[in-house]
Amino acid sequence: MEGNYYMIQDYMIFIGVFAIFLFLTVSIYLFNQNQKFKKRNSNLLETNKIIEQRLNEVQLEHIGTKLNPHLFKNILNSVQSHAYQTYMSLDKLANVLDYILYESNNKFVSPKDELNFALSLIEINKIKINPLFDFRIKSKIDKSDSIYEEKVFAPLISVDLIENAFKHTDFLAQDSFISIHLELENRIFVMKVSNKASLKHVLEKEHSGFGSESLDQRLKMIYNTYYSLQKSSKNGIFTAELKIDLGKFYDKMRYS
């Protein structure tokens, strides 16, 4: 009986040791499988990230190829329609074309370069309007801002809002106007454009929407959560306000 007792005890110990060994083996196996799964999942996420990044780049390149020829045409039409101011126009045009040809191919330019481009573009578009027309432009640029000369601004972002204002304004109406406000302060860029549109343009916008899809696409792909674009229409007055937190976006670029 005593021998049987010890045999049972040894058997129970064996069973216990075997159970522990089996548990450890299964645990190690599951741990290894989990690590492999995490690694595989990480690789898939990285691959998806690369694919998404490349897709965005291709989309941006496509938008750029559609944008530049259209911009050229509008600028040249403005210059051609007012030959008496050709000298001044060509001077501004040279600055604009240099920017489009050489700077717009870069992924980012400085706010300084984009703002100079925007002001030249405005001057070219002003040629087509009567000197007595109610045109208001205000700039509040802090040139000492730390972001002023940093490569953080997507080139040609300012084009759409300026072009839309001149394109859709009723220049013959007595109460017609264009107002453009440019601001760079505390590392935040603000551009606000308002204009009085004709009834024809109001009806068109009810069906087509105000502004350019390409601008919305570019802003979303480039600046994501670091921008806001507000558009409104009231009594035939269209207003678009673009705000980009260039400071936070720059910090993200530096530390990511």
d(CA 210, CA 218): 16
d(CA 156, CA 68): 9
Q: Supply the pTM of this predicted model.
A: 0.66
Mean pLDDT of 182-209: 76
For the stretch 70-79, pLDDT in tens is: 666 666 666 6
Q: Are 156 and 100 in contact (CB under 8 A)?
A: yes
Residue entry with tokens 């706010």? 111
- Tell me the average pLDDT of the chain: 77
Maximum mean pLDDT: which of 51-60, 87-96, 125-134: 125-134
Q: Identify the weakest region by mean pLDDT among 65-79, 122-136, 176-190, 239-253.
A: 65-79
Which helix (H) or strand (E) covers residue 232, if one does? strand 227-234
Q: Return the ∠ at Cα 209 (arms to 204 and 215), rounded to 5°.
A: 130
d(CA 129, CA 170): 11
d(CA 229, CA 217): 11
Q: Residue 126: pLDDT band by 50, 70, 90 thresholds?
A: confident
Q: Identify the weakest region by mean pLDDT among 28-37, 119-128, 224-233.
A: 28-37
Which DSSP category does 198 fall into?
P
For the stretch 222-250, pLDDT in tens is: 999 999 999 998 888 899 999 999 999 99
pLDDT for 9: 55
DSSP assignment of 91-157: HHHHHHHHIIIIITTSS-B-HHHHHHHHHHHHHHHHTTS-TTSEEEEEEEE-TTSTTTTSS-B-TTT
pLDDT for 135: 92
Q: Residue 237, exposed/middle/buried by CB under 10 A (0-12, 13-18, 19+)? A: middle
The token pair that represents 211 in the structure block: 């502004």
Determine the angle formed by the axes of helices 2-81 and 111-126, rounding to 10 degrees: 30
Name 193's bridge partners: 180, 240
d(CA 88, CA 48): 50
Domains of the chain by start residue, with CATH: 30-255 (3.30.565.10)
The token pair that represents 149 in the structure block: 């000369």
Residue 105 has, within 13 A of its CA and on its CB side, a CA count of 4
Q: Are 205 and 238 in contact (CB under 8 A)?
A: yes
pLDDT for 15: 60
d(CA 26, CA 19): 10
pLDDT for 103: 81
d(CA 65, CA 42): 35
Which amino acid is present at 153? Answer: F
The token pair that represents 226 in the structure block: 């670091």
Which residue did the predictor score with more confidence, 207 or 242?
242
| pLDDT at 212 exceeding the cut of 70 | no
pLDDT for 82: 55
d(CA 162, CA 200): 19
